[in-house]
Amino acid sequence: MRLIILGAGASLKEGVYKGLWEVIKGQDIWAINFMFKVMPYPPSAIIWQDLGVWVKFKADILRAADSGTKLYARPHDDYKNDPRVECYNQNTEKFFGRAGIRENKIYTGSMGLTGLYALSLAIAKGYNDLYLCGFDFGTPSVDCDDTHCYTGLNEGAERRPMIYRTNKGVREEVADFENYKSSEWKIFNVSEISNIQSFPKISYDEFLKEVKYE
């Protein structure tokens, strides 16, 4: 099974410019946090951990769910009784691979990232070919503050260009992605500027060609 996971990294703007939305329409797509608001059509699933996503866009999220979009989230009292939201506990200590759902412990890495929550859940659900779009883990340099592919949806994060960096370089927590290396699945990082070096990187030209002519 193939899955496209959409993060919010600035590299996604290149894909959009090259026709990403048109080419991947109809594919299995998970949108992380606010990314469903960037898309011109509903994704297969919306996934979040931050309650702020739910509070800010609850009506839009539920409207998408009523049209067939699945909802995955960390448990919270605000939606614990809503059958449309499929909840899984997070954990920052251990990656359980395919057993994540059985253990009800979905790995988020030491920084508690929703991108890793999504990747862990996808693997637990049996996906074999995973394409990460907008997974930049920060910017190419400390001088660059172009952190997100959108503006205005999550201003707190947009104002923190150093969240994934220190003055000495990329934060050491990027090594959490190493836990996902396995012969059981394939992960491709569709971001040539990404600071994540754990997976093969492919360009948007390669990715779009592969999806279009599969």
> CA 119, CA 197: separation in Å to the nearest integer?
16
Looking at residue 81, its pLDDT comes to 93
Indicate the pLDDT class of residue 194, thresholds 50, 70 and 90. confident
Residue 63 within any structural domain of the chain: yes
Indicate the pLDDT class of residue 147, thresholds 50, 70 and 90. low
Residue 35 within any structural domain of the chain: yes
Tell me the pLDDT of the chain averaged across its residues.
87
Residue 214 within any structural domain of the chain: no
The number of folded domains in the chain is 1
For the question of whether the overall pTM of this predicted structure is more than 0.85, the answer is yes
Indicate the pLDDT class of residue 212, thresholds 50, 70 and 90. confident
Residue 116 within any structural domain of the chain: yes
Looking at residue 55, its pLDDT comes to 93
Looking at residue 111, its pLDDT comes to 86
> CA 131, CA 149: separation in Å to the nearest integer?
17
Residue 78 within any structural domain of the chain: yes
Here the CATH number for the domain that contains residue 180 is 3.90.1480
Residue 178 within any structural domain of the chain: yes
Rounded to an integer, the average pLDDT of 51-61 is 93
Domain residues for the domain of 196 are 2-209
Indicate the pLDDT class of residue 156, thresholds 50, 70 and 90. low
Rounded to an integer, the average pLDDT of 131-138 is 87
